[in-house]
Each structure stands twice: as structure tokens, then as C-alpha cells.
Amino acid sequence: MSLVLDGITCPCCGKPARNRGVCKATYAMARRMVRAGKTTWAELERRGVVLESRQGQHKWSAAGKRRQYLEMGCEQ
């Protein structure tokens, strides 16, 4: 699920930004390029094309739960 980022627009087309500070279409193209091995998310972040990932920054997200599990030493 992607949420519109308040006040941020895609630098490519000016539409409201969603994932990583770009519109849905630009994100899809970037994702295709990363999956094809033509670039990396780190390179796109370094060049300022996309924002840093927010995955796992929310305590109750799936990635956040995995990080908590690993930080606890897998003891539950």
C-alpha cells in the first residue's frame, strides 16, 4: 500500500509522490530497472532520483517486526 507523501511531487512529471518520493509510474520504471540489474536503489538514492526507503521504519511493519526479532537475538 502506498500513501501520498504530503506536499511532495514527482520531479519527473509533477504528480503527487507516493513511494520513494516519485509517482507510481516513475517508481514502477525504477523498480524494473533495479530488477533488471541496470541500477540499484542505493545508486538512485545517491543521485537524488528517489528518496531513501522507509521500509521497516514503522515499528509494526513486517520489516520492523523482523528487525525487532533479530535484535532480540531470536529469543521469544
Number of continuous H segments (helices) and E segments (strands) in the chain: 3, 0
Residue-by-residue pLDDT tens, the chain, 76 positions: 455 556 677 877 888 887 888 888 888 999 999 999 999 999 998 998 888 877 655 555 666 666 666 777 655 4
**In this structure, what C-alpha cell is assigned to residue 20?**
520513494
Q: How far is CA 68 from the centre of its chain?
A: 20
